[in-house]
Every structure is written in C-alpha cells, then in structure tokens.
Chains A and B, each alone.
Chain A
Amino acid sequence: MTWRSVTFVVWTVLGLATLVVVALAMAGRGRIARPSALLFPVSTHPVVRVLVVLGWMWVGWHFFAR
C-alpha cells in the first residue's frame, strides 16, 4: 500500500467519523450539539465572530483566488 493510498484512507475515515458524529448528534438528546447549533458560539462574542469570519475569508482566498 502506497503512502498516497494510506493518506486517502485516513481522509476517508475522518470523513466517515464526521458523519457518525452528525448521526449521533441528530439521534441524541442534547449530549452532542447538532450541526445547526455549531455556529451558536460565533454569536456569543464579537471577537469570536471576527476570527471565524477571517478564517472563512482566508479559506475562500486560498481555494478560489490563490
């Protein structure tokens, strides 16, 4: 197995693990925050909001412009 294959396998496992967390959050009773609530912390402090939006801006610039 090549390193490239190993890397893709790990990325796939991480993606599937994220889906498991989503499923557990949707099926649970509040022990795990639902995806729709993940942005709630953003609304609680202006500094957090600015930092998160700056991160979003960097992602867009990195992927689409540079």
Chain B
Amino acid sequence: MDRVTGHGADRSSGRRPVLTAARVAGLVGAAAYAGLLASTRPFTVEADVVTAVALVAAASAVVVRLAGDRSVPDGIGWRPYLPWLVMAAAVVAWELACFFGGARPSHPTLSSIYDIVARSEAAKAAVVLAWVGLGWALVRT
C-alpha cells in the first residue's frame, strides 16, 4: 500500500483477525472513559482530572515512542495533501471570522456548536470517543 496516499492494498501480509482480545479491551476501556468524561461538567475538578488522564497517557506514550524511534524520516510529497490543506485553511479562516466577527449567538464557532451538541451526554460521549480514537492514532502512527 502507498504509505503516503493510502491507495492500493497490501495483500502480502495475509489476513489478521479484526477483533483481538486487546482491541476489544481497548474499545471497552475507551467507551468507559468516554462515558465517564461525558458525565463530568467543564470547569470542575472532576473534568480536569478525568481529561488529564488522557493527556498524561498520550504524553507518556509520545515520550516512550520518541525515545525508541530512531528511524530516518521519509521524504513525502505535498500534492496529495493539498485539498486537505485547503479545507483546513477554510475551516480555520471561518472559525477566526466567527470568533472575531461579533456576538457568539450570531457568529457561532466550532466551540459553541460543540456546546449545543454536548447538551446530550450521549453525543458528548461520542465526541470524547472520537477524540480518544484520534489521540490513539496519533500516538500509534
């Protein structure tokens, strides 16, 4: 498989089981953590402590990863990423325009949209789960 673009399939390594005991344990743990964090309210000690658990875990994993990784970086082209960079720039530009544009109710930012979503504990748990999944991917990649 092309490591840069993700296109093409690597069929040489054979099929590995999708659900291993470690993966199931990880998913259950992540779901439990998401439920726990979703049950907290921002600006409380509980929210600080539960959020900090993931931050400390990620920071520790990155330190361990960096300490053991001595591989030479590969050269990558930027062209496959150009559409994503354009989209990211557009989102950041609109976020800043909303942030500095005036009253929040008239110019809702991503944060204020999240506040609307997070009124539902289940929806907040889903956001936490996505955040944990992204963090896991960032550390593992």
Contacts and interface: CB of A to CB of B under 8 A. Distances in A.
Interface residues on A, range: 35 or more
Given A37-B5, A56-B138, A65-B47, A49 B80 contact: no
Contacts of B62: 49-50, 53
Interface residues of B, number: 57
B30 interface: no
B55 A64 contact: no
B16 interface: no
Contacts of B126: none
Contacts of B3: 37, 40
Interface in B1-46: 2-8, 37, 40, 42-43
Contacts of A61: 51, 55
